[in-house]
């Protein structure tokens, strides 16, 4: 299995590729590429991604985009923490939880890196990412043809390589804007600096970490060369050493990208942002069913017409064609004396299993109604059409926010739809308004 750690920050793309085979992992590739603009980044990603086919891609967003809170629970089980965490932090964050994606890291229990005896609890680092930032990151990668399975903060990569670096006493690991405080074998805290924090911002974060952990930082370990960071550390009067962790005897070009490939558990691709590769097979089956339904209609009409107008030999040829179409559409199914009716029955069974079509309006009815419901003077393109039970979910692009409102108003008039909701609108980089819309049907599809 190939795992790609992808770190994107201002002006720099860092990549680490891990190969896992027969229980062993090795660093296959590690490199960094500079870029000046997002357009240049997209071109670099397109070229590099050709070798990532079938790989698990873990992409990071700079840590300063995340809000964070540290809390303690009497348990460390990930699922229990996920359920309890929103209630624990909702009163201590200055925004609605519906506007962010929430995940967490479990920090060490004590300086040995283990929870104290008889204390199953853990210190939890809660991280919150605005949905707008996550959507922008995914859109940027999508424009390069990259669809990562996992999204994490860059400081998660630093936290993953921290155990590889031996330290004595309290040491501060630094990689770009990300900081990791270690004490012995334990990771005590993870923080990110603001881009414009400078030496003053570094000293402020350092003081906060020392106060919270009640321990003075004895040494700073720099994982990536950075003159600005070196100056900030020097101004704080802390000894500085440059270190590069090894993995399987190889040193990565960027330690954080290696950590991203090794990170496990955390993933901000949740809910509406969840990785949808599993849906591709279902969508393909739905397309096959729709195509097969069209074939049934054509064959049924042809069958009736031939019975009336053609001689027996011609009918026999058409009957053979119907049988061939049946075998191609439903391989492995034993054919009865009436293949047309059998195809209809097979389709009905498939509809029940997949929920593609059912009583009431058909999928084609919904698509036709939506297409005809858009006012002719409005230019719109739909990029996604998903139907789930009694709901249709659309994504598209229009020339203005007003156009989206007009489309909603016209679709709301349809007797086929009971409710039309615009879930999201935003202006894209191409000056087109991207929108998501959910339509509830009056009759379950």
Question: Where do the domains of the chain lie?
Answer: 61-133+148-266, 279-351, 363-441
CB atoms within 10 A of CB 289: 20
- Return all residues near 112 (Cβ < 8 A) that are at least 6 apart: 184, 185, 186
Confidence at residue 382, expressed as pLDDT on a 0 to 100 scale:
85
Q: Give the length of the chain.
A: 445
Q: How confident is the model at residue 327 (pLDDT cuts 50, 70, 90)?
A: confident
| pLDDT greater than 70 at residue 281 | no
CATH of 61-133+148-266, one of 3.40.640.10, 3.40.50.300, 1.20.1250.20, 3.30.420.260: 3.30.420.260
| pLDDT greater than 80 at residue 138 | yes
Could you write out the DSSP letters of every residue in 400-439? Answer: -HHHHHHHHHHHHT-TTEEEEEEEEEEE-TTS-EEEEEEE
- Nearest residue to 52 via CA among 17, 26, 21, 20: 17
Residue 104 sits at φ, ψ, to 5 deg, of -150, 160
The class that CATH gives domain 363-441 is alpha beta
- Quote the DSSP letter at residue 402: H
Which range, 2-11, 221-230, 316-325, 349-358, is most confident?
2-11
Q: How confident is the model at residue 372 (pLDDT cuts 50, 70, 90)?
A: confident
Confidence at residue 286, expressed as pLDDT on a 0 to 100 scale:
55
Q: How confident is the model at residue 107 (pLDDT cuts 50, 70, 90)?
A: confident
Q: How confident is the model at residue 111 (pLDDT cuts 50, 70, 90)?
A: very low
**Pairing of β 380-388 and β 391-398:** antiparallel
Q: What is the pLDDT of residues 226-273, one digit of tens each?
A: 888 888 898 889 999 999 999 988 999 999 999 999 998 899 999 999
When pLDDT is averaged across residues 68-80 and rounded to a whole number, the result is 87
**Assigned token pair, 317:** 């040829």
Confidence at residue 360, expressed as pLDDT on a 0 to 100 scale:
55
Q: What is the pLDDT of residues 282-302, one digit of tens each?
A: 445 555 555 555 655 556 665
């Amino acid at each position: 299995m190939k795992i790609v750690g992808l770190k994107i920050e201002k002006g720099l793309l860092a990549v680490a590729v891990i190969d896992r085979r027969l229980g062993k992992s090795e660093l296959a590739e590690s490199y960094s590429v500079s870029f000046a603009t997002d357009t240049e980044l997209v071109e670099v990603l397109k070229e590099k991604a050709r070798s990532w086919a079938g790989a698990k891609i873990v992409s990071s967003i700079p840590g300063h985009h995340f809000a964070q809170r540290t809390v303690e629970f009497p348990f460390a089980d990930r699922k229990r923490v996920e359920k309890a965490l929103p209630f624990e932090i909702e009163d201590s964050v200055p925004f609605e939880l519906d506007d962010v994606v929430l995940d967490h890291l479990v920090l060490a229990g004590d300086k040995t890196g283990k929870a104290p005896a008889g204390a199953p609890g853990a210190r939890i680092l809660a991280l919150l990412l605005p949905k707008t930032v996550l959507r922008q990151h995914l859109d940027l990668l999508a424009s390069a043809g990259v669809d990562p399975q996992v999204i994490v903060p860059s400081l998660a990569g630093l936290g993953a390589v921290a155990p590889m670096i031996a330290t004595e006493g309290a040491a501060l690991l630094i990689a770009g804007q990300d900081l990791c405080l270690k004490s012995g074998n334990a990771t005590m805290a993870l923080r990110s600096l603001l881009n414009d924090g400078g030496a003053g911002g570094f000293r402020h974060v350092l003081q906060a970490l020392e106060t919270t952990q009640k321990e003075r930082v004895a040494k700073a370990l720099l994982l990536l060369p950075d003159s600005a960071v070196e100056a900030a550390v020097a101004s704080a009067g802390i000894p500085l050493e440059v270190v590069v962790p090894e993995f399987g005897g190889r040193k990565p070009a960027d330690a954080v990208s290696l950590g991203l490939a090794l990170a496990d558990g955390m993933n901000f691709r949740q809910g509406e942002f969840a990785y949808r590769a599993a849906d591709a097979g279902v969508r393909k089956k739905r397309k096959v069913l729709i195509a097969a339904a069209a074939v049934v209609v054509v064959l049924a009409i042809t069958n009736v017409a031939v019975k009336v107008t053609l001689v027996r030999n011609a009918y026999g040829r058409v009957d053979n064609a119907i049988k061939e179409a049946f075998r191609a559409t439903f391989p492995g199914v034993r054919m009865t004396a009436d293949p047309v009716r059998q195809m209809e029955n097979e389709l009905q069974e498939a509809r029940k299993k997949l929920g593609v079509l059912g009583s009431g309006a058909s999928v084609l009815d919904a698509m036709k109604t939506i297409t005809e419901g858009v006012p002719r003077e409005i230019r719109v393109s739909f990029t996604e059409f998903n139907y789930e039970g009694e709901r249709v979910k659309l994504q598209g692009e229009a020339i203005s926010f007003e156009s989206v409102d007009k489309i909603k108003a016209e679709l709301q008039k349809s007797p086929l739809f009971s409710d039309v909701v615009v879930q999201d609108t935003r202006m894209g980089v191409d000056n087109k308004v991207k929108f998501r819309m959910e339509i509830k049907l009056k009759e379950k599809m």
